[in-house]
Structure 1
Amino acid sequence: MDMPNIRARLLVVLVVLSGFLTAAGVRPATAEALPDSLWFDDTPVTAQNGRFTDGLGREVVLRGYNVSGETKLAENKGLPFASAADAKKSAIALRALGGGNSVRFLLSWAYAEPVRGQVDNAYLAAATEQMRAFLDAGIRVYPDFHQDLYSRYLFDPDSWYTGDGAPKWAVDAGNYPDESCGICLFWGQNITQNEAVKKATYDFWHNAYGLQDAFLTTAQKTMTYVKQHVSAAEFAGVVGFDPYNEPHAGVYDSGQSSRAWERDVLWPFYEKFRARMDTAGWQEKPAFVEPNLFWNANISFQKQEGGLLDAGALGPDYVFNTHFYDQKAISGIFMPGKAKDGQYSTDFGTVRDRAAATGTAGIVSEFGHPLAGSVSDKAPTVLKGMYQALDSRVSGASWWTDPKASGSVLSGTQWQWDIYNGRHHELMNGNADKVLTSGDAWNDEDLSAVRLDDSGTAVLRQDARLLDRLYPSATAGRTVAFTYEDRSRDGSTTLTWNPVPSSLPNVSRLVGTGQYGLLAWRSNGSAAPSELHLPASFPTASTTVVSDLGTVSGLPSYTKTTPIAAAGEPGGTAARRLLLTAPDSGTVHYALVTNGATAPPASLLSAARAELSAWADSKIS
């Protein structure tokens, strides 16, 4: 498609002519007037040249959560929230507590099309209203028609398991055997062991009874509805659409490999979905396409060949979209201890490599670990390891000596953000004698990073230092290297996987026991600044930045002529961002951001800058 490039050029022209790009629907983080309007806000995001980019050519990183597994349940009729007010509460908390700038927004086919051929506009209206709560909070959205185990209607009222996705009429169309998983310790085993799930999934992919055609038609009507019922500014915040969650063949045809299935069955489906997006007016937005869900499994007997190896160049029509869960850690058998520094560098490096090979941006749209149960003690280290691997493809122990090996900063949305965690009232498979209230109320899962306390306030269930992270949300150029040491806790133990080396004693003294991040980037001449999300643990008055652009302890408010400054995030919440302006082109810049020292003396700042300058000359130039 040529339209994104044309649109990007037009936006740049508008900036040059007027110095102001109207951020309709996006408000400053507080009511106080900023010195200059943040004219660079809210440009649309596309997939260009192997990365997400905004309308000003900045490299964009999407970080956030899945909203939410509540969509899998019947209690709120397939919606993420009971009300638009709850959606707004969740969006504000996600910004303020979780540090997210994007969400994967779950939708239900079963509730969108409860009667064959009849889309439920009331459901679409409620879902769109809830989606707007996130868009209006400055959070980018990509919807996902979610399914797990094909459909809840495959399962008996007294079953150990349940599913979600396809409507009842789609299940009634097939003559499926009575569901049974046999000896299954985990619900996911139904994918390959439950004959009802396997046969129904196979029928969908082979368009038996016109099932796939019906789904595509409903998806098109849904996208058309959303576009028609949000403002142009809100629609600019919709990044794309995830066509199908965790695809698997169900049953392979005789002699068919997983790679051949991706090529001959899955990819043609994505092409059809892409055409429906175009018809619905989503031409400039990519489809977030997932490969066979087992292609990058980290247990050898699960692993299957795939990764859209035969799809060719994907961008800008598609984004390479995958999930990652550490099945070894979840099993409690194959990884008896805790995760360690660099544990997931190879796994996430594979995602980077596949995205690069397909010429598009990559995203890990689901990752996480149980927060309750026998393996929940691994969660602090597993999640720290996953975020570390999203930030950089090298371990903390290697980062300072080989920062340019970091690779791109990966986008990702953690599973999940469900404010109703522990407060559900779900009749499992419609069984009034099996009312689920604990955890996520779905197949014994408990992964939500958030819950509501007794006063109805959203609170985190995980360490805020882990979740509310420093990350480069928009880089004016190309990221050369990035790392973040969050100092998150495993119980009472502080996890420090990337200490500042002793060869930089003044930098180490400045950081101390605090958190720090370091971004190196090659500028592209954009007048818009690079942006890093500032966690709540980085107060504006006591955040220190040491950069080739200058040295600041206590961040000033943003103006177009201030190289290092702070401003609110878009959307009117309390979230803040660091803005680094380097309007030159082709220069490698660096910025260390830390909350380690209170009012550091000028002599320490100068000495730390000298050390970083010498390090940058030798390691990142």
Structure 2
Amino acid sequence: MRVSRAALALSAVLLSCAARDDAPAPRPQGWHVADGAIRDPDGRTVILRGANLSSAHKKKPYLSDFGPADYARLQREWGLGAVRFLVSWAGIEPERGVYDEAYLDAIGERLDWARDAGLLVVLDMHQDLFGEGFGGDGAPRWTCDASRYAAFVPATPWFLGYLDPNVIACFDRLWTDPELRAHFVDAWRRLAARFAGRANVIGFDILNEPHWGSMSIIGFEEERLAPFYVDVIKAVREQAPRWLVVAEPSASRNLGYPSTLPKLPFEGVVYAPHAYDSDAESGKGFSPERREAITRKLREMRDEATAQGAALLIGEYGGVADDPGIT
């Protein structure tokens, strides 16, 4: 593993996402949001139809074994034009202050394959169950106390592990520890500095399905998530001002709770909830009787995007392919 070490400058934690005197300057014209839609540099409306790439990115070496031909198939055979490319904080910074340059090189190679295949890319800092210490993915082990991992009891299905007090405690630390937040911000800063010049990389999904920890769902997005997002966005936009901000609501949105994520004080914001149907996700497949419930959920998400002055992108949806009615 080729690594580099760098001193981490700890910046002050932004306590409010309200407008400030040092509001960001207007972005250079490029990919942008206007009238509730994603627009290309020529102002044309773009509907991103793509796939997540991929579950194999969740485990070491945090990349799939797909090659250039596989990327080309996504466009040629599936008719897709974009990918949500999963990246791992554990892959970027496997040890505190130690950055894996070889991993970043490998990401760059795959971004080239996506470019050659005609695919647009949104980089997604992924997490499931906080991180590796709980058998999930995302945060490296050093980000939380080892005793938390030792006390964790795996659950079935896996996502019930979010109820474990040890997982909850680690999320609390992510939201409240300025030093840990600075490490996360720096991981994004490095990605942005490395790949800002890639024309096919058009946006960054700050964090997959952020969990509220021990805080009440009510107020989490306003008091903790939005300030966290602001810190990341400012760092990324210093390096990659043309990238779209792809901001997910709290994972509580997956449970049916409306999002109260406030409007972020930046241009080019895309609101990106996940739209899983409860029956499909639980293995029951999809019944046409669920159509209206799904349609209603999508309307609610559209209204939430409108309230934020953002475009809408559904980052994940679906079910198990072999279940009835899914394909």
Do they superpose with TM above 0.5?
yes
CA displacement, residues 390-409 of structure 1 (integer Å, 9 cap, x when unaligned) = xxxxxxxxxxxxxxxxxxxx
Q: CA deviation at 1:180?
A: 1.3
1:313 to 1:171, Cα distance in 2 relative to 1, 3 A: closer
Q: CA deviation at 1:48?
A: 2.4
Q: Corresponding residue for 1:116?
A: 96
Q: Corresponding residue for 1:378?
A: 325
1:61 to 1:199, Cα distance in 2 relative to 1, 3 A: same
The answer to whether the 8 A contact 1:246-1:292 is kept is yes
Q: Corresponding residue for 1:363?
A: 313
Q: CA deviation at 1:177?
A: 5.6
Partner letter of residue 227 of structure 2? P
1:172 to 1:107, Cα distance in 2 relative to 1, 3 A: same
1:312 to 1:369, Cα distance in 2 relative to 1, 3 A: same
Partner letter of residue 267 of structure 2? P
Q: Corresponding residue for 1:303?
A: 256
CA displacement, residues 340-361 of structure 1 (integer Å, 9 cap, x when unaligned) = 6555211111111111121111
CA displacement, residues 120-177 of structure 1 (integer Å, 9 cap, x when unaligned) = 11110011111111122211101011110011223xxxxxxx3001112223467556
Q: Corresponding residue for 1:348?
A: 298
Q: Corresponding residue for 1:512?
A: none
The answer to whether the 8 A contact 1:49-1:315 is kept is no
Q: Corresponding residue for 1:286?
A: 244
Is structure 2 residue 73 aligned with structure 1 residue 93?
yes
CA RMSD of aligned residues (A): 2.2
Matches within 5 A, 1:115-194: 115-154=95-134, 162-172=135-145, 178-181=151-154, 184-191=155-162, 193-194=163-164
CA displacement, residues 48-94 of structure 1 (integer Å, 9 cap, x when unaligned) = 232111122211111100011111122xx011x33xxx331221110
Is structure 2 residue 233 aligned with structure 1 residue 270?
no
Q: Give, in whole Å, the separation in 2 of the partners of 1:336 and 1:87.
A: 33
Q: CA deviation at 1:328?
A: 2.6
1:313 to 1:243, Cα distance in 2 relative to 1, 3 A: closer
Q: Corresponding residue for 1:46?
A: 32
Higher relative contact order (CA 8 A, sep 6+): 2
Q: Corresponding residue for 2:193?
A: 224
Q: Corresponding residue for 1:57?
A: 43
SS of 2:33's equivalent?
Answer: strand
1:364 to 1:200, Cα distance in 2 relative to 1, 3 A: same
Q: Corresponding residue for 1:202?
A: 172
Counterpart selection for 2:218 from 246, 253, 259: 259
Q: Corresponding residue for 1:602?
A: none
1:279 to 1:93, Cα distance in 2 relative to 1, 3 A: same
Q: TM-score, normalised by structure 1?
A: 0.46
Partner letter of residue 166 of structure 1? A
Structure showing the higher helix proportion among its residues: 2
Larger Rg: 1
Q: Give, in whole Å, the separation in 2 of the partners of 1:339 and 1:371.
A: 19
The answer to whether the 8 A contact 2:281-2:318 is kept is no
The answer to whether the 8 A contact 1:315-1:358 is kept is no
Q: CA deviation at 1:338?
A: 4.9
Q: Give, in whole Å, the separation in 2 of the partners of 1:348 and 1:291.
A: 14
Q: CA deviation at 1:45?
A: 2.3
Matches within 5 A, 1:530-569: none
SS of 2:270's equivalent?
Answer: strand
CA displacement, residues 453-512 of structure 1 (integer Å, 9 cap, x when unaligned) = xxxxxxxxxxxxxxxxxxxxxxxxxxxxxxxxxxxxxxxxxxxxxxxxxxxxxxxxxxxx
Counterpart selection for 1:213 from 168, 171, 182: 182
SS of 1:94's equivalent?
Answer: helix
Q: Corresponding residue for 2:26?
A: 2
The answer to whether the 8 A contact 2:246-2:269 is kept is yes
CA displacement, residues 251-284 of structure 1 (integer Å, 9 cap, x when unaligned) = 11xxxx423111010000110011111222x112
CA displacement, residues 172-217 of structure 1 (integer Å, 9 cap, x when unaligned) = 4675561115xx44211111x2222111111111126x22211111
Partner letter of residue 49 of structure 2? R
Q: CA deviation at 1:314?
A: 5.7
Q: Corresponding residue for 1:404?
A: none
Q: Out of 193-202 and 239-248, give the one that drifted further.
A: 193-202
The answer to whether the 8 A contact 2:222-2:260 is kept is no
1:170 to 1:55, Cα distance in 2 relative to 1, 3 A: same
Q: Give, in whole Å, the separation in 2 of the partners of 1:221 and 1:292.
A: 25
Q: Give, in whole Å, the separation in 1 of the partners of 2:194 and 2:73.
A: 27
SS of 2:201's equivalent?
Answer: coil
SS of 1:47's equivalent?
Answer: strand
Q: TM-score, normalised by structure 2?
A: 0.85
Q: CA deviation at 1:316?
A: 2.3
SS of 1:143's equivalent?
Answer: strand
The answer to whether the 8 A contact 2:286-2:325 is kept is no
Partner letter of residue 303 of structure 1? G
Give me the identity figure in percent.
29
Q: Corresponding residue for 1:242?
A: 205
Q: Give, in whole Å, the separation in 2 of the partners of 1:167 and 1:105.
A: 19
1:225 to 1:262, Cα distance in 2 relative to 1, 3 A: same
1:135 to 1:174, Cα distance in 2 relative to 1, 3 A: farther
Q: Give, in whole Å, the separation in 1 of the partners of 2:85 and 2:283.
A: 30
Q: CA deviation at 1:315?
A: 5.8
Question: Which blocks of at least 5 consecutive residues in structure 2 are unaligned?
Answer: 1-24
SS of 2:124's equivalent?
Answer: strand
Q: Corresponding residue for 2:54?
A: 68
Partner letter of residue 346 of structure 1? R
The answer to whether the 8 A contact 1:314-1:359 is kept is no
1:225 to 1:325, Cα distance in 2 relative to 1, 3 A: same
Q: Corresponding residue for 1:318?
A: 269
SS of 2:115's equivalent?
Answer: helix
SS of 2:113's equivalent?
Answer: helix
The answer to whether the 8 A contact 2:286-2:326 is kept is no
Q: Give, in whole Å, the separation in 1 of the partners of 2:263 and 2:53.
A: 31
SS of 1:323's equivalent?
Answer: coil
